[in-house]
């Protein structure tokens, strides 16, 4: 097994990169040609399986090359299914158990139960308009999709419950982390101070330029001091937006302790040869996926 850690800016690999909490940010691992990212803070939990896919080791062609995990971006269905078989073998999950939904950049959360097993891969995708999935059922893998937006991994080690949420700028400004914590508290008794959170690979501040209307939405959603940290105004009237810092602020506001929040510091746009990036490819790309399961 080859292990690396990915730099955010230098677009290279090393085994000595740490985030602001002094934790290893993320590890690029290989199972044969299949490359996938794991997070040491989650690797330490024996009953958790997880991973984040890369572009490496699949069978898709051209701009979808090669580990595209979307059935809706014009790929051959059998290519996508083979990609799932390969990535699931690498992270030790059964593709027939996967649960995923149609994401719409909203903050709706679905409680995944046994009746949902296989929805999206083995059975038709019936979960529509859902950007967050939570469960406390063993061997029921949650899957969400990305190409610059922020994956949020949540593990409640006390009640053995998990959450996996998709947070683009809309999900972030509407506090997707808080919505997920509320749903986990209501359904599993989760206390945010017990939760481990990982802010996964996504577009970094330096790569993410947004228009003034997006900036205004964040200025309204956050206090002035925090908004000034999240946004940097440019001479062209646009802004650089820090989704990592915004999602960390959302986690803190939801009650998650600072020392239990890990930012992976892996940028999809900086590493667009390794990871699909909507911004870097101008929309011509496949989809990455985040996986999280109670073993």
Locate the domains of the chain by residue range.
3-204+260-294
Query: Which residue ranges of the chain lie beneath pLDDT 70?
Result: 1-24
pLDDT at 24: 61
* CA gap 148, 167 in Å, rounded: 10
Structure tokens at 275: 């990871």
pLDDT at 5: 44
Strand ranges (E), 81-215: 109-111, 132-135, 142-146, 150-156, 161-167, 196-199, 209-210
Q: Could you say which DSSP state residue 155 is in?
A: E
Q: What is the dihedral of CA 265, 95, 71, 68, to 10 degrees?
A: 40
Q: Residue ranges of the alpha helices (H) in 10-152?
A: 40-43, 77-91
| Residue 132, CA atoms < 13 Å, CB-side half-sphere | 27
Q: Which DSSP symbol is given to 259? A: G
Q: What is the pLDDT of residues 123-156, one digit of tens each?
A: 999 999 999 999 999 999 999 999 999 999 999 9
State the Rg of the chain over Cα.
Answer: 18
Largest CA distance in the chain: 53
Measure CA 164 to chain center. 7
Are β-strands 34-38 and 161-167 bridged in parallel, bridged antiparallel, or unpaired?
A: unpaired
Which whole-number Å values give the CA distances from 134 to 50, 162, 214, 217, 263, in the listed order?
14, 6, 28, 27, 20
Long-range own/partner contacts, residues 10-17 (CB < 8 A, 24 or more apart): 11/270, 11/271, 17/265
CATH top-level class of 3-204+260-294: alpha beta
pLDDT of residue 16: 33
């Amino acid at each position: 097994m080859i292990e690396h850690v990915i730099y955010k800016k230098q677009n290279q690999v090393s085994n000595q990169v740490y985030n602001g909490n002094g934790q290893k940010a993320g590890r690029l691992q290989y199972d044969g040609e299949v490359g996938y990212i794991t997070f040491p803070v989650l690797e330490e939990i024996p009953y958790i399986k997880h991973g984040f896919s890369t572009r490496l080791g699949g069978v898709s062609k051209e701009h979808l090359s090669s580990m595209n995990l979307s059935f809706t971006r014009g790929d051959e269905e059998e290519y996508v299914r083979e990609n799932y078989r390969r990535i699931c073998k690498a992270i030790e999950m059964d593709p027939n158990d996967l649960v995923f939904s149609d994401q719409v950049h909203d903050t709706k959360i679905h409680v995944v139960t046994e009746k949902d097993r296989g929805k999206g891969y083995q059975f038709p995708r019936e979960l529509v308009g859902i950007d967050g999935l939570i469960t406390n059922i063993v061997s029921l893998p949650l899957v969400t999709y990305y190409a610059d937006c922020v994956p949020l991994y949540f593990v409640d080690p006390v009640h053995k419950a998990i959450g996996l949420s998709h947070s683009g700028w809309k999900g972030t400004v509407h506090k997707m982390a808080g919505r997920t914590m509320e749903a986990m508290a209501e359904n599993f008794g989760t206390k945010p101070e017990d939760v481990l959170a990982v802010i996964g690979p996504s577009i970094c501040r330096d790569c993410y330029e947004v228009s003034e209307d997006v900036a205004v939405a964040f200025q309204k959603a956050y206090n002035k001091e925090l908004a000034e940290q999240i946004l940097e105004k440019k001479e062209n009237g646009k802004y650089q937006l820090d989704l990592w810092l915004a999602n960390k602020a959302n986690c803190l506001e939801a009650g998650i302790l600072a020392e239990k929040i890990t930012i992976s510091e892996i940028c999809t746009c900086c590493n667009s040869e390794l990871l699909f990036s909507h911004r870097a490819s101008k929309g011509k790309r496949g989809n990455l996926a985040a996986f999280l399961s109670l073993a």
